[in-house]
Amino acid sequence: MYKQYLRKSDGRYLILYWQKPTTVSLLENNLGVESSPINNELRWNPVLEEWVGVATQRQSRTFFPPDNFCPLCVTKEGEFITEIPLANYEVAVFQNKFPAFTANCVEPIKDDFYLNTSAQGECEVVVYSPDHQATLANLSILEIENLIEAWKDRFAELGAQEHVKYVYIFENKGREIGVTLPHPHGQIYAFPFIPPIPERELRAVEKHWVKYQECLFCKILEKETTHQERIVIENEAFLAFIPFYARWPYETHIYSKRHVSAITDFNFKECNLLARLLKGLLDCFDKLWQKPFPYIMLMHQRPTDGKNYDFYHFHIEFYPPYRTQDKLKYLAGVEAGCGVFLNDSQAEEKAKELRKNTSGENMV
């Protein structure tokens, strides 16, 4: 894909992706402008042994646009300037206006007991389409392939930065998850450390690799393929299933059938099959209750700290928040305080519910 860098008037970058080269003129281009440093910090919790990001500037959001204003739509002539001043693009990526992590941040004041450090990293917003009404589920296969290309590019570019140890691609979808902007978009966080959940996975998978000389994810793939009952949808290159140990009733994972550790390892054919599988799965979700299905979608990939992670295996996880059509699952005392999830449904029965909605092409 072709891409074009722009600099917004406040110093943030905007990257536009196109299938074909473009000669369009840029309404806003301030390549010389530098954004001002932000005093975000990471504070270490010695009790739980984990980092907490503190980004106080996120509170002072002073931007009050009109009710019908969508900052992710392309700027219309004579109207409010949105995040995207151009009409002609397939996927757009820009720096979050209120980032939790940024390359340009000041060193925090040190303490003689507590540990803290600057929150160096990057927070990007990925706009899937210029179409305000679209969703990932109803984009065309070609449009999803374009998005996958953009994800690959961001993984490679952010991951190559010295201070970035982990590139995290995700999407929060639906009001139930707290998303107020319906315009189809996801996010990318480039962390200066490996976050705890991927780290726990990496530890377990490496342990399995050392003990059995096999990939734990490849083993799970083999189990699920034999068992069949938890599979939602599959094709030649990917398998979507509800794990035996799902925390959420409709928690669905997508594993690549080939043992690779990052999205950049996929060939052209696999990207096409990933686009097809994503669309097929989201279609199952939306058809379940004939209404848009909210979810958190996230990618777990190898860290970008330069070490060897050949034992790891690319996958995508979906956490839909519903238990039943009208009941949401909340993280209450046991989940929030003990880290133990209670799931009141079985993976096998929920997979069957979702499987009923698969269209012919992707039937198991």
> Which residues belong to the active site?
185
Pick from 198, 193, 156, 195: which is nearest to 301 by CA?
Answer: 198
Residues 363 and 240: beta-carbon distance below 8 Å: no
Q: Applying CB under 5 A, which of residues 163, 208, 257, 259 lies at the interface with Zn ion?
A: 259
Residue 329 within binding range of Zn ion, rule CB under 5 A? no
Q: How far is the CB of 20 from Zn ion (least distance, A)?
A: 23
CA distances for 192 relative to 7, 42, 120, 298, angstroms: 24, 10, 6, 18
Q: How far apart are CA 346 and CA 242, in angstroms?
A: 9
Q: How far is the CB of 163 from Zn ion (least distance, A)?
A: 24
Q: How far is the CB of 251 from Zn ion (least distance, A)?
A: 11
Q: Which is nearer to Zn ion, 53 or 243 (CB)?
A: 243
Residue 217 within binding range of Zn ion, rule CB under 5 A? yes
- Binding positions for Zn ion, 70-89, rule CB under 5 A: 70, 72-73
Listed in sequence order, the DSSP H helices in the chain are 141-159, 196-212, 216-227, 268-288, 333, 347-355
| Residue 57 burial (C-beta neighbours within 10 Å; 0-12, 13-18, 19+) | middle
Cβ count near 138 (within 10 Å): 16
Residue 215 within binding range of Zn ion, rule CB under 5 A? yes
Q: Which is nearer to Zn ion, 132 or 291 (CB)?
A: 132
Q: Which is nearer to Zn ion, 7 or 300 (CB)?
A: 300
Residue 132 within binding range of Zn ion, rule CB under 5 A? yes
Residue 183 within binding range of Zn ion, rule CB under 5 A? yes
Residue 185 within binding range of Zn ion, rule CB under 5 A? no
Q: Which is nearer to Zn ion, 101 or 319 (CB)?
A: 319
Q: How far is the CB of 82 from Zn ion (least distance, A)?
A: 8
Pick from 59, 57, 4: which is nearest to 29 by CA?
Answer: 4
How many helices (H) and strands (E) would you count in the chain? 6, 16
The DSSP line for 24-73 is PPPS---TT--PPPB--EEEEETTTTEEEEE-GGGTT------TT--TTS
Pairing of strands 327-328, 322-324: antiparallel
Stretch of residues binding Zn ion (CB under 5 A), selected from 21-29, 129-137, 140-148, 244-252:
129-137
Q: Which is nearer to Zn ion, 119 or 260 (CB)?
A: 260
Q: Applying CB under 5 A, which of residues 177, 218, 305, 335 lies at the interface with Zn ion?
A: 218
Q: How far is the CB of 201 from Zn ion (least distance, A)?
A: 5
Stretch of residues binding Zn ion (CB under 5 A), selected from 68-76, 286-294, 322-330, 353-361:
68-76
> Residues near 145 by Cβ (< 8 Å), separated by ≥ 6?
271, 272, 275
Q: How far is the CB of 173 from Zn ion (least distance, A)?
A: 14
Q: Which is nearer to Zn ion, 73 or 100 (CB)?
A: 73
Binding mask of the shown chain, residues 286 to 315, with x at each position contacting Zn ion by CB under 5 A: --------------x------------x--
Pick from 99, 94, 13, 113: which is nearest to 53 by CA?
Answer: 99
CA distances for 252 relative to 100, 223, 245, 347, 348, angstroms: 28, 16, 11, 9, 12
Residue 54 within binding range of Zn ion, rule CB under 5 A? no
Q: Tell me how many residues contact Zn ion (CB under 5 A).
A: 11
Residues in the site for Zn ion, rule: CB under 5 A?
Answer: 70, 72-73, 132, 183, 215, 217-218, 259, 300, 313
